[in-house]
Amino acid sequence: MDNRVKILVCEDDPDHRFLMMEALEENRSNTDFLEAESGAECLDILKREQPEVLILDYRLGDMDGLEILGAIQTMPRQPAVLLVTSQGDEKIAVQAMKMGARDYLVKDTALNFIHHLPHSINQALKEISLEWDRSIAQQQLAESEELNRTIFNQMSEAIIYADRDDTILHLNSLALDLIDTSYGKARKMKLLDPQFTSLFPGLTLLVSRLKSNEDMSFLEDEFTIGEKILTMRATPVLGSEGQYRGVILNLTDISERRREEMEQLEAINRTVFALAKAVEFRDPYTSGHAANVAFIAQSIADLMGWDSKRVMGLRLAGELHDIGKIAIPAEILTKPSRLSPLEIAMLREHPEKGFEILKDIKFPFPVAEAVFQHHEMLDGSGYPRHIGGDGIIPEARILAIADVLDAITAHRPYRSGLGIDSAVAHLTKGRNILFDPTVVDAALALIDRSEKKPFWKIQLARSTEMKELRNQ
């Protein structure tokens, strides 16, 4: 409120009007006084000047105080009203108080009411100041909430906020469209009601994990609704002491992004296939090796529970793991006898050569690094960088075993295939020394399922037969 205060004195008796203003001027140097001698003039000044206080005589020439109080009730900013009545008008004063008057003073012949006026004014100003401040704060809060609601509804994500008891507190228009309901109905739902959990697979598990782990900052999941692919990010709302207070779900439609990614991956697959064929043309003795390694790696990753997108990246790396052999002399690749130490050293450059070929291609997976590391071993005895342990990425750990499985069981110009038992023995001996034990266990489990036969060759043979049947 402004430091200066406006007080309107509405009194048809000029002497009483003068005495009231004189009594107040002695105590209020920061006050601007306004005068009115009729009801119509009073209402005009109220609308125009918006004074903080109105001293209102009940009996005016053109209307009474109750009529003016009724008009004031329709105004957006209402002054504090002090009603001045004559002797015998106490009932009217009580009615005025019910209509919003702050206080009333009874005129007496000795004009003692004038002496009580400053105290009544000060009390009224305190009350109206608090009310106006509260009104301004409420208006600002309402405007802020409306702004937040507008921003909330304009967001490109569907957002749902639930409290610690899973009661829905807020959700925006995109969320309402997603669950196909109204705001009122949604506010009566629980986050783990069937209408939500049937739409959002994994929601129950996500919320349960957030509630049980105070250190968890957020969890993410991906699912489909009809033709839409969405990601769900669950972020806990924590109290001042870190206790779980609720959860915010951000649901993003990534269908278009996934479509673009699939188009990109299809283009990459065509490129990968062409590159893999180029290697086979230079090294016909290992024809089919890249496809075998890719299939073995995919099978192992599937058994280990990798998501489909990551498995796709691993398969690409499998198809390209020997791409660096393009830079190796053809006479080394096709030599029908064992290689000399110098030739072996040259051949062992192919992982690095492959990395150099692939590093600038923007794969959405660590393809180049997996190719670089696919001959590295846990104990650091591999090549070309002799890294070991945690330095080897998971994709390379799987490729290493897939490569060994196919290489040992395949025929070479200088030897026949050594058989599945030799491959199993090699993996078992190198488990937790050369090879990741989890990957070894998965590979051995797949071999057991295929009754100790090279499961990748069986599957690839079936695929070839199906292609031939389709062609016929």
Same domain, 314 and 438: yes
Q: Give the span between the Cα atoms of 108 and 84, in whole angstroms.
A: 10
Same domain, 42 and 137: yes
Residue 371 has pLDDT above 70, yes or no: yes
- Kindly state the percentage of the chain with pLDDT values over 70: 88
205-209, 292-296, 388-392, 460-464: range with lowest mean pLDDT: 460-464
Same domain, 188 and 212: yes
Q: Give the span between the Cα atoms of 397 and 439, in whole angstroms.
A: 7
Same domain, 41 and 121: yes
Domain end position, chosen among 194, 219, 253? 253
Predicted local confidence at residue 286, as pLDDT: 61
| CATH code for the domain in which residue 86 is found | 3.40.50.2300
Same domain, 273 and 404: yes
Residue 418 has pLDDT above 50, yes or no: yes
* Mean pLDDT on 264-284: 72
| CATH code for the domain in which residue 164 is found | 3.30.450.20
Same domain, 86 and 233: no
Q: Give the span between the Cα atoms of 177 and 194, in whole angstroms.
A: 17
pLDDT band at 289 (very low <50, low <70, confident <90, very high): confident
Best-predicted range by mean pLDDT among 343-347, 370-374, 414-418, 448-452? 370-374
* Mean pLDDT on 245-266: 81
Predicted local confidence at residue 472, as pLDDT: 41
Residue 465 has pLDDT above 60, yes or no: no
Predicted local confidence at residue 240, as pLDDT: 79
Domain end position, chosen among 227, 253, 279? 253
Question: How many domains in the chain?
Answer: 3
Predicted local confidence at residue 211, as pLDDT: 80
Predicted local confidence at residue 151, as pLDDT: 62
Predicted local confidence at residue 375, as pLDDT: 95
Same domain, 265 and 398: yes
* Mean pLDDT on 398-418: 83
Domain end position, chosen among 253, 276, 294? 253
Predicted local confidence at residue 149, as pLDDT: 64
Same domain, 390 and 328: yes
Q: What is the pLDDT of residues 151-172, one digit of tens each?
A: 666 667 888 888 888 888 888 8
* Mean pLDDT on 47-55: 90
The mean of the pLDDT values for the chain is 82
* Mean pLDDT on 184-191: 81
User: What domain range includes position 171?
Assistant: 155-253
CB 409 within 8 A of CB 418: yes
Residue 1 has pLDDT above 60, yes or no: no
Same domain, 350 and 276: yes
* Mean pLDDT on 129-137: 78
Q: What is the pLDDT of residues 314-334, one digit of tens each?
A: 998 998 998 898 888 888 887
pLDDT band at 260 (very low <50, low <70, confident <90, very high): confident
Same domain, 90 and 217: no
Same domain, 313 and 431: yes
Same domain, 443 and 421: yes
